[in-house]
Chains A and B, each alone.
Chain A
Amino acid sequence: MLTIENLEKRFGSLRALDGVSLEVEDDCIVGLIGPNGSGKTTLFNVVSGFYEKDGGKIFFKGAQIDGLPPNKIAKKGLCRTFQVSKAPEKMTVLENMLLAAEHQIGEDPFSALFMRSRVQKSETANLDRALELLDMLQLSPLKNDYAGDLSGGQKKLLSLGRVFMLKPDMILLDEPTAGVNPTLRVQLMEAIKRLQEMEKKAFFIIEHSMKVISNICDRVYVLNFGQKIAEGTPEEIQQNEQVLEAYLGSA
């Protein structure tokens, strides 16, 4: 589904991504690990269009997507969350969810003014779905709170909820469980897994917790200094000498 070939990104003389190639297949959960500063988030930023690449190619569902602006890439069905969650301060949790809903009517002034009944219908449908998802994420009691007032972990959950509202084909999650309490973390992982099994979505996840990785990932890539140093199943990665040295050993 997602193919990255020889991707390069430089910041001045620093090679943040130094010829990274990898692949995320349909219908699976792929992990991305590596020490701090190894280029994981940079990779996400380049793939989602927030950074311009300096070399290499990115294909999504067979079409080349590098060079497209972030909103076009999201529209193609490749969606991401942010490491530091973004939560519009003066919008409630429910507004956040509705904001993300796909195929909305009334997103331009004309239809907002003159197609009121259709707008209403699509809003009601999206509202139902949003409430359902909030239930799953245990955010229902906070549905009318401002997103800006949520805790870090709750914002993480909300960003997951938003992405699910969007119904993309593939989801890039940047540390989805950082700051989330352990019980909820397990539930979250289960939710991701369930979604992957039920709706056949592909996930590409940056995560520091080895436990999370080995629980849900089918495949793992390891980055260090902007280069891919290993790939394989979670079990293989955990036994890889190079990985242990670069990542687990130093951590």
Chain B
Amino acid sequence: MSETHIAVGKPLQRIDGIEKVTGSAKYAADIKLENMLHARLLRSPHAHARVKHIDTSAAEELPGVRAVATILEVPKVIEYWFSLRTEEKKKQMFLRDNLVRFIGDPVLALAADDRATADQALSLIKVAYESLPALHDPFEAMAEKNVKIHKRGNVAFKFEKVYGDIQDGFKNADIIVENTYRTSKQKHAALEPFGTCLAHYQSNGKLTVYSSTQLPHWSRHYLAGALELPLNKVRVIKPHTGGSFGGRCGLIHGLEVMCSWLSRETGQAVRMSFSREEDFIATESRHPMTIKMKTGVTKDGILTANEAEVVSDVGGYGTHYIGVLADCLSTGVGLYKIANYSFKGTAVFTNKSLCGALRGYGNPQMNFAQESQMDILAAKLGMDPLELRLKNYREQGEIDPVLNDEIRSNGLKECLEKGAASSCWEKKRRQKPAKGPKKRGIGLAIVLHGTGAGKALPDPAAATVMINADGSVNLVTAAADEGQGNRTVLAQIASETLGIGFEKISVSETDTDTTPLDCGTHGSRQAYGGGLAVQAAANEARQKLLAYAVKELGVNGDQLRIEEGAILEKTHPDNRILISDLMRKTQIEDMSVCEQVIGSAVGVAPAMPGYYGAIFAEVEVDIETGEVNVLQLTSAFDVGRAINPDLVKGQIIGGGVMGIGFALTEGLLVEDGRIMNSSFADYRLLRTCDVPEIVPIIVESHEPTGPYGAKGIGEGCMVNVASAISNAIYHATGVRLTDLSMTPAAILQGLKPG
């Protein structure tokens, strides 16, 4: 690896930092258009009902009301982009019927001159519902024969997969443990509420939608499908976004399609913004899962078999239910070399708010089960949990059986070693229990998470690099930056590849009219998949640039290098030309040429490299109150290559805090289909005073297929936090918790004798 990088590996300041600290960065709700209307949704008070009749007459007579659209006319998008692959599948993406499937499900939207009028008009709508039996529990829904939440029944998706011989595997085990784990309905709780959109259908037949989506190009497909418009007549612009974490991985239920519909009806721009309560009750959350897991190990600590049965609670509508369930399998099988592995997964509709993608995508649930099992087995074997991991993890050079691809980089061992040293693992594992009610413990958990989705879903990436006459560069990409800083990382990759300073790179707006097809930001993919496209585009531009310099300097291309805005002969550095002089000459001065240097790349990443991590959590548990205080989290992650170490650390620390929330405080509480904690007062996010020190450790294994060796980080760093904390609670108290969130009441219950 060359040590003379100009941009890669440097903690450069993010390209949108100044905009964001001065208040000039525009988010969807900050954009105003002339004669803009304000839309509001009427939501179902029933968990399951048939809409018999909607009377909108009184509302439509109210001055200032411009249009009403109901679910009887406007389709919902209920699948994700995998379904775009065939016309037949695509038809199933859009649902239009008269059923409402959870409390908060949209029934209609109306647009008025101002929000107050829209609110008043909503109160004048009369809806006749026929209440239907509601199914709140996935097991009940699976067994139910008469009540069907969707036409095809209550089982949304089901699959089984077996590797090896599971019976044989358990036969060879000396110790077998079996437990059932349950996980909570975590909410993304991005600070910018989900559900702000501004749609403008103009008289020329073109629809422009400002949406905070993570997937601008797929969202264009969804909108074109729902409104039956050609793709080139739909333009999606993604402004700055106040965090997404997977929840904007497509369109928001009832938002963009409704807004666009109302705009087409009125010819005016239409804005809709959900309140925080609407965000909590009616946008996607993490799938709660029940995971039954049975694991066998020899007395030497070699895993022989693992059996997992997963039931995933989808809520009223789908979107990501297939991918999330499939990822439960891939992250489980990929992490450990267990020859015999059986997986049964069922995703079930219930009459609760819908679930979708949330940082980790099934992995936090599965990891909690798998890593708890490992800790239990280690205790039964009398073995250090770290040693048990080292004996069984799938190493570099092995084949990942799910991806059927080689593991080309795996820095897990280094993560474990560095994390153990930094957290004083050995010393703290041996420490004697303290006197008094406060007991300390330390636990660990490891993780594998995939980068991108190229083996499972259409996952295109593209970029264009244009060098200007003054030597500055425009990088054109649809990479959606939700705040993680991927546009900065892509600019670093362009800078490095071109040999042109980072400050000279300008990154385009995220706009489907001006950027080539990109899958969007999901699956921790942008630095990797997006980065590969940028690297290839920049490389093409660099070759063209050098070809012009060859003519100008009279030496072969391999004799040239690029340095600080100039191209020069390696052995005679005085033979040089400024890039700006060369580009001005080729673009403007030499009228026989008039050509801008442009490099472009489209394609899909060649692999889905796993990134790995080890988290060590130290906790203090008060056995009188059951309260858990996380004292320190040490998070060591193999990211292949940290293109921007500051941004990587930001992910690890932020992911750590989201993981502590998943472990201890977060989760929507649903009673009879009604969400009981739909505000920040009741849904407890961690605050400044609640968070422990988080020690981020970056490990660089160099992924050979990645740009400069990079792979992902965004999701994995939150996945194994809850598992590590649970194992630490066990070390501190001897109480094994199997349900998330791990509440003081559950700990006190576990401490009860007998």
Q: Do A and B bind each other?
A: no
Residues of B with Cβ closer than 8 Å to A? none
Residues of A with Cβ closer than 8 Å to B? none
